[in-house]
Amino acid sequence: MISLESGAILILSGPSGCGKSTLLKELYKSVNKYYFSISTTTRLPRVGEQNGVDYFFVTKEQFEEGIQKGEFLEYAEVHGNYYGTSLKPILLALEENKLVIFDIDVQGQDIVKKSELNRYVTSVFITTPSLEVLKNRLYSRATDSNDVIEKRVRNAVIEINSIDKYDYIIINDDLQKASLELVSVARSAMLKTSLFSKDHIVSKWLN
């Protein structure tokens, strides 16, 4: 099992339908201490989704009040709805030396990397082998209307052009291969020199 001496942040981005949720389930089997950052959103719950488990569901007014109070690490408006990440549980998880896992979009990743938490961050963009494969997955899972799917497809075309902003990219064509790659990225995220105190390491090494 992976065990941390210092908290770290792993950002996952990628179009809806690329398989992030499935890959995360595989990653959890290899991570000892982690906190999955649950987003707050103004969109309505889908069938089977639970408040506080899948998302924190709030009204637009509540979300905008949180923005004014500076309660979000990052937030963005996507498909006409707000999505954001509450800062308080993130800081607590880092203090507890956990791997903090974010599933956020390109805009959110940009904001986090510009924040004071950037030294903790490793980012990976996950995608399908092609746009056609993505379309097939979105339509076959039948969880959204055709209009929503088309919006997701258009957004995916925009997001794929931001892959150079990420540390790693995973093409999710083979689940087992992609899962192993994600575990490798998580391991590297927890070994970044920026997570550790040079003075502490050198002192310990000399003694």
CATH (domain of 182): 3.40.50.300
> Residue 2: inside a domain, yes or no?
no
Q: Taking the mean position of all CA atoms in its chain, how far away is CA 66?
A: 20
How many domains does one find in the chain? 1
> Residue 207: inside a domain, yes or no?
no
Supply the pTM of this predicted model: 0.81
Q: Taking the mean position of all CA atoms in its chain, how far away is CA 46?
A: 20
> Residue 161: inside a domain, yes or no?
yes
Q: How far apart are CA 167 and CA 173, in angstroms?
A: 19
Q: Taking the mean position of all CA atoms in its chain, how far away is CA 172?
A: 16
Per residue of the chain (207 residues), what is the pLDDT tens digit? 555 567 999 999 999 889 998 999 999 999 989 999 998 999 999 999 999 888 989 999 999 999 999 999 888 888 899 998 888 889 899 999 999 999 988 988 998 899 989 999 999 999 999 999 999 989 888 778 889 899 999 999 999 999 999 999 999 999 999 999 999 999 999 999 888 888 888 888 998
User: The tokens of 48 are what?
Assistant: 């089977």
Q: Which domain range does residue 12 map to?
A: 8-195
